[in-house]
Amino acid sequence: MLAIFNKGVMNPPEELHSPASLTSPRKPKLSEEICKDFVDSHPSNTFLISLKNAASLAYVPPQNPYSSSKRLFCGIDNIYCIFMGSLNNLSHLNKQYGLSKGSNEAMFVIEAYRTLRDRGPYPAHQVLTDLDGSFGFMVYDSKAGSVFAALGSIANEEVRLFWGIAGDGSVVISHDLEIIKAGCAKSFAPFPTGCMFHSEQGLMSFEHPGSQMKPMPRIDSEGVICGANFKVDVQSRMTTTMPRVGSEANWALSGNSLV
């Protein structure tokens, strides 16, 4: 899975960008080059969609269709979701949100997002803590121009995310570490587990929603700072109101388009 959000659509923490990318022999690539690299690495079965010069989403089905760790893509009413992993309580969640029994995890995430956006206010972190399983997802609301991404606390080789900064300032998120390394040079890091990112409030922990995220400089094998790992500072407390999807004060992006 690959998602690229043009500069201004998604504003990541400043610490993700490493000045070493400017002086490194391996320069960060443009977003178009990164998309091409991803498609070329999966030439037979990659699905790629570009959305109004604001975002590009690419999806590759799992090699083993019977794997317990799924990869799913779904688009409903200008909201797009790429999901990987699996939810053990999907049947219960589908019933809770009024979805059919056949709805998959990506469909559920979109419905949960729409419910939070349109019928809130509910704290977004509360919805994520209700998810039982190993999961990572990216949601892009093309009408609102909003991004919502999360990675569960249970991460493994099949369910993991990395993010970085492309040469044109776009934000790149993918499960493929090699694509991130090649495309973002020194400006990349693992996406932190138990955390979510949304366009208005940025990066936060949904497991410890009252605590701030602390950037920790990440040093590579060459001794160069490469972005930052983000950890929960459990000793800190946020002074701002917890973000609630559907709350205009915290989530409004334009009119009544809310994350």
What does the angle CA 117 – CA 123 – CA 128 come to, to the nearest 5 degrees? 90
How much is the pLDDT for 120? 64
Q: Rounded distance, CA 67 to CA 164, Å?
A: 28
Q: Which residues is 71 bridged to in the sheet?
A: 84
What one-letter code names the amino acid at 160? R
Q: Which residues is 163 bridged to in the sheet?
A: 173, 189
* Dmax (CA) of the chain: 53
The answer to whether the CB of 244 falls within 8 A of the CB of 209 is: no
Q: Rounded distance, CA 12 to CA 3, Å?
A: 14
How much is the pLDDT for 42? 83
Report the chain (259 residues): mean pLDDT per 10 consecutive residues: 92 87 81 94 87 90 76 94 95 94 95 84 82 94 93 79 94 95 92 91 89 86 79 72 43 32
The answer to whether the CB of 28 falls within 8 A of the CB of 185 is: yes
pTM for this entry: 0.85
* Residues with Cβ within 8 Å of residue 208, at least 6 apart in sequence: 194, 232, 234
Q: Rounded distance, CA 221 to CA 157, Å?
A: 21
DSSP assignment, residue 28?
A: P
